Amino acid sequence: MNGSPTVPLSGSLACCTRRTGPEPELAYSLDEPFWHQGLATEAARAARDWMFSHCYVPRLVSFIMRENEPSQRVAARLGGVRDGSLMLRGFAVERWVYPAPGAGVQV
């Protein structure tokens, strides 16, 4: 790195397919010092838009812990619709669906 400054990691974002189903998952996480600045919404929106414009998927899903109301608000801001609850890796989560533009929500 030759003396270049290090930048702290602020969070993570992923679009991936998991064993939870055939739909690609939009997953995001932000470290506490970066909360309440709109960063999660901005990053997740950019990833969602990229997936819809480059991968041509009909929808994305997110799995958000029931008590994580800030992440649920991010999902709602992105046009996500709550589509039920389930246990995932031992955690109670809500399943959120993001339809592709013009696709509508099909659950």
Transcribe 14-26 into DSSP letters. Answer: EEE--TT-SSPEE
Q: What's the pTM? A: 0.82
What tens digit of pLDDT does each residue of 7-61 get? 677 888 888 776 666 789 999 999 999 899 999 999 999 999 999 999 888 999 9
Q: How far apart are CA 91 and CA 98, in angstroms?
A: 21
pLDDT band at 1 (very low <50, low <70, confident <90, very high): very low
pLDDT of 103 higher than 90: no
Rg of the chain on CA atoms, in Å? 15
Q: Do residues 85 and 92 touch, judged by C-beta distance below 8 A?
A: yes
